[in-house]
Amino acid sequence: MTTINTGIVGAAGYTGGELIRLLLHHPNVAIQWIHSNSQKGKPLEVVHPDLIGDSDLVFTDQIVTDGLDLVFLCLPHGEARPFLETHSFGSKTVIIDLSTDFRDESDGFIYGLPEVNAARIKKAGKIANPGCFATGIQLALAPAVKEGWCNQTLHVNGITGSTGAGKKLSPTTHFSQRNQNASVYKLFSHQHLKEINQTFGQLDPAFKGQVLFVPNRGNFTRGIWVTAYFPFSGSLEEAQAVYRDFYKEAAFTHVSQQDIDLKQVVNTNKCIVHLKKEAGQLVIYSITDNLLKGASGQAVQNLNLAFGLDEKTGLRLKSTAF
C-alpha cells in the first residue's frame, strides 16, 4: 500500500483541524508534521480538542521537506503566495493550497474542482482548492452553463454557517451576533465570483452571463445552501437528464429527485443538487458542508486524484442527519 508522507502548514484553524481529522483515518497517509507559528509546542488535542486520543502529534514551527510527498497549505488568504516565495519543496512534492491565492491557475496551479477538472488534477503537481461558496454555486450551475443555457443574468442566493468565516474571531462571528440572526455581506462582490466566472468561461467559451450573488450569514455552524435560478424554456425532465448525465461519474455530487435539507450533507464530502421548474425559471438547490466539500474534504478528494487513489478513500463519512 502506498504511503503518502504529508505535512500541513497552518494546521491550527478550522480547515487544518478538519484535514487532520480526515487524514488520521486515511489508509494511505502518514502525517509527518503539523505546522503553526502561534501554537508551536502544543499537543494536537490542546488546539483541536475533538482529536484527543487520536494522535500524539505536536505543533511545530519548522518546515521539514525531506521525504515529503504532499503538503497542504491552510494559511489565511494572501499568505500562501509569500509562503511559497520563501519556502521551496521538492519537484515531486504535490502542493494543495486551500487559500484564494492560486485559484486563477497562476504559477502552474490547476483549479481543483473534481467534477470539472478531474483529468487535469490527476496530472497536477500544484492544486488550488476551490472556495466553499464557489463549490456550491459551480456545482449548482455547471451542467446548465455547459449546455449554453446561462448567457443571461443568473440569480444566486447562498447562506453559510459561521465556520465559513474561519477560526479567528470577528464582530460577525460572536455568538451574540450570529445566534437568532441573519445578515447579507459582500453583495454582488464576493471574492469567489472570480473563480466561478473562470470555470464558467472554460465550460462554455461563449459564456457571457452575469452572476448576481447574494451571500448570507446563517445562524448555524456548518453547511452551505445555494439557490440559483434563471429563465428556462425547456422542461424539468430535460434539465434533470442533463444534470444526471453531467454528474454520472462524480464520486460525491448527486442529483436528488426529492426535496433536500442541509443536514443531509453536514459532516460529509457530498454535494446534493435538486432541480425545480417554477414560473418559467429553472431553479437549482445545492447543498454542501463548507468545511468538507467546501474545503478540507475536497482537498482530500484532490489528494486521491493526484495520487491515483479511489476518490472516496478516507471520505466515506456519515452525515449528521439528526
Cell of 180: 437568532
- Map residue 310 onto helix, strand or coil: coil
Whether 74 is catalytic is no
Name the active-site residue from 74, 132, 150, 271.
132
The rounded distance, in Å, linking the Cα atoms of 297 and 36 is 20
Backbone angles phi, psi at 210, to 5 degrees: -110, 125
Which residues does 275 contact at the CB level (< 8 Å), separation at least 6? 236, 239, 240, 243, 255, 282, 283, 284, 285
- Map residue 249 onto helix, strand or coil: coil
CA 192 to the chain's CA centroid: 11
The rounded distance, in Å, linking the Cα atoms of 155 and 319 is 29
Query: Which residues are catalytically annotated?
Result: 132
